[in-house]
Amino acid sequence: MATSKGSTVSGSTTEKSSSLQAEILLYLSTNNELNTWSYAKERGLDHQLVVGTIRSIESLGDVIKSEQHTSRSIGLTDEAKGLLRDGSYEYNIFQAIPADKGIEQPQLMKLPNANIGFAKAMSKGWLQVDKSSKPPMVKRKVDTVQDEVQHLLQRIHSLELTDSSAEEVVELKKRKLVEDVTINYFTVTKSAGFSTNISKPEADLTSEMLQSGSWKTVNFKPKNFHAKGLLPSYGCLHPLLKVRTEYRQIFLEMGFTEMPTNNFVENSFWNFDALFTPQKHPARDVQDTFFLSDPAVTTKFPEEYLQKVKEVHATGAFGSIGYQYDWQLDETQKNVLRTHTTAVSTRMLYQLAQEKTFRPAKYFSIDKVFRNENLDSTHLAEFNQIEGLIADYNLTLGDLIGVLYQFFRKLGMTKLRFKPAYNPYTEPSMEIFSYHEGLQRWIEVGNSGMFRPEMLLPMGFSEDVSVIAWGLSLERPTMILYGINNIRDLVGPEVDLKMCRRNPICRVIPAKSEE
């Protein structure tokens, strides 16, 4: 049989008080009321132990009720407790005297507290002194004595004697053996949930209870149906991820293929030169672009293509006069954190141009780009771009506008406006504005254009192939959709992670402006 570890603590206070708990409950099952003071007295128990046990029963629920009372009583002083244990001074003096011959007085007076003991024994007529001998002899005057003081102290201690005005008590008070005390005691009665079986109620049903069948008899803690439930923990997506999914879905519905965007590090050739961005363009400045120090350069490029790009910049080619400047190889070799996903599109288009026969294609990407920006409530040094492109024969600006209407309609934006713009790699170029019904104003939603022949022809496309493209940030529409005014509430170290959890699974776009 297994012995529980609990057996090693048998006789501990907890065990004592739990058996006292049972006794008290048994007492109350047959008596209407329990007075802690008299209960302790009857059982010869320490009153504090009884009170403590009552308290612990009360903590188990609505088993008993108690009411506090105070009353005056008498108690033993510390000195009296010594006398209770060792006998009174006068009794000890009497006992110290040999029954037949007596004792020399100086010898007797060496005993502890001999002065009081001697005086008290003399006044009680227990002793006589023979002063004729030198030194004087003290002898017993009676054969036996009773230690009445000790007996009285015993009765007071056992609460048999509590009347502070009793003659013998007054006497002890004068001797400072007894003092008045205030006692706090309790009267205890049964309460609604009274039971003599008060095992701590179980909070949970366990598999052991089911197996043993003890669930039928176990005392369960009542369920609190008013308690607030714990929110189950669950994962949640960041708003940027949710909006990214929406955009991806729209592109996929429109038959676009996702481009591989898994390189944050790009070189200037694919990020700028291949996009007909001159080497002195301000976007290529350290103020705008993050340059890498290690590895600082890329040296492997498709050589033939690189030469064509160089030519179109420096001297002009493919019917263009180019920029007419001294194009430098080391400038194109510089590694950067890509500043736009158009670098991804460029690589993709170059690959497409290498295919034997041209095939029309629709591509999209959504990923991170990096710019050396001054951070404010709408700008971060890294953000996400959404980009789409279509390569086909003889596309026009009308095709671009048509595709943009189709794309933005899927996002719920039906009113669009276009404003002429400039990009080194597109001509014509257009900024896209949409009327936001919620905010009740026109907001810029993206940039677009038709890639220039200076970009496409060096890749190897024939002249009748045109490419229309557009790009926008992911953060801006996310902020509008989720009502976030400061981009730092959306990304970065100050983001409150609960924001993701609070955001609804479904959004209703507000019909009226809240501004």
For ligand PHE, the binding residues (CB under 6 A) are 340, 342, 387, 423, 426, 447-449, 469-471
Query: Closer to ligand PHE at the Cβ: 426 or 478?
Result: 426
Closest contact distance (angstroms) between CB of 399 and ligand PHE is 14
Cis check for the bond before 504: say yes or no (omega within 30 of 0): no
Closest contact distance (angstroms) between CB of 470 and ligand PHE is 5
How far, in Å, CA of 210 to CA of 206, rounded?
7
Alpha helices in 138-295 (DSSP H): 148-157, 167-174, 207-212, 239-253, 268-271
How far, in Å, CA of 465 to CA of 487, rounded?
39
Query: Closer to ligand PHE at the Cβ: 117 or 449?
Result: 449
Q: Taking a C-beta distance cutoff of 8 angstroms, is the pair 422, 429 a contact?
A: yes
Query: Closer to ligand PHE at the Cβ: 266 or 387?
Result: 387
Q: Quickly tell me which residue has 């080194």 as its tokens.
A: 424
Closest contact distance (angstroms) between CB of 337 and ligand PHE is 14
Which residues in 341-356 are b (16+ Cβ under 10 Å) and which e?
bbbbbbbbbbebbeee
Phi, psi of 108 (to 5 degrees): -60, -40
How far, in Å, CA of 398 to CA of 87, rounded?
120
Q: Taking a C-beta distance cutoff of 8 angstroms, is the pair 488, 400 a contact?
A: no
Q: Taking a C-beta distance cutoff of 8 angstroms, is the pair 221, 54 a contact?
A: no
Closest contact distance (angstroms) between CB of 401 and ligand PHE is 14
Closest contact distance (angstroms) between CB of 232 and ligand PHE is 42
Query: Closer to ligand PHE at the Cβ: 36 or 429?
Result: 429
Query: Closer to ligand PHE at the Cβ: 91 or 276?
Result: 276
Closest contact distance (angstroms) between CB of 454 and ligand PHE is 14
Query: Closer to ligand PHE at the Cβ: 120 or 284?
Result: 284
Closest contact distance (angstroms) between CB of 385 and ligand PHE is 6
Closest CA to 148 of 174, 120, 113: 120
Instruction: Give the chain's count of helices (H) and strands (E).
Output: 19, 15
Query: Closer to ligand PHE at the Cβ: 342 or 466?
Result: 342
Closest contact distance (angstroms) between CB of 317 and ligand PHE is 22
Q: Quickly tell me which residue has 């609460």 as its tokens.
A: 159
Beta bridge partners of 417: 433
Query: Closer to ligand PHE at the Cβ: 51 or 469?
Result: 469
Closest contact distance (angstroms) between CB of 426 and ligand PHE is 5
Query: Closer to ligand PHE at the Cβ: 66 or 423?
Result: 423
E strand or H helix at 388, and its extent? Answer: strand 382-393
- Sorted by sequence, the CB contacts under 8 Å of residue 393 that are 6+ apart come out as 358, 360, 464, 465, 466
- Sorted by sequence, the CB contacts under 8 Å of residue 495 that are 6+ apart come out as 488, 489
Beta bridge partners of 376: 379
**Measured in Å, how far apart are the chain's first and last C-alpha atoms?**
76
Query: Closer to ligand PHE at the Cβ: 140 or 371?
Result: 371
Closest contact distance (angstroms) between CB of 323 and ligand PHE is 19
Closest contact distance (angstroms) between CB of 367 and ligand PHE is 12
Q: Taking a C-beta distance cutoff of 8 angstroms, is the pair 313, 276 a contact?
A: yes
Angle between helices 13-30 and 47-58 (to 10 degrees): 80
In this structure, which amino acid lies at residue 508?
V
How far, in Å, CA of 77 to CA of 182, rounded?
14
Closest CA to 322 of 335, 331, 313, 330: 313
Q: Taking a C-beta distance cutoff of 8 angstroms, is the pair 44, 154 a contact?
A: no
**Three-state secondary-structure class, residue 427:** strand
How far, in Å, CA of 243 to CA of 252, rounded?
14
Closest contact distance (angstroms) between CB of 303 and ligand PHE is 26
Query: Closer to ligand PHE at the Cβ: 90 or 387?
Result: 387
Query: Closer to ligand PHE at the Cβ: 47 or 340?
Result: 340
Query: Closer to ligand PHE at the Cβ: 120 or 452?
Result: 452
Closest residue to ligand PHE, judged by C-beta, is: 471
Closest contact distance (angstroms) between CB of 387 and ligand PHE is 5
CB burial of residue 378 (10 Å; 0-12, 13-18, 19+): middle
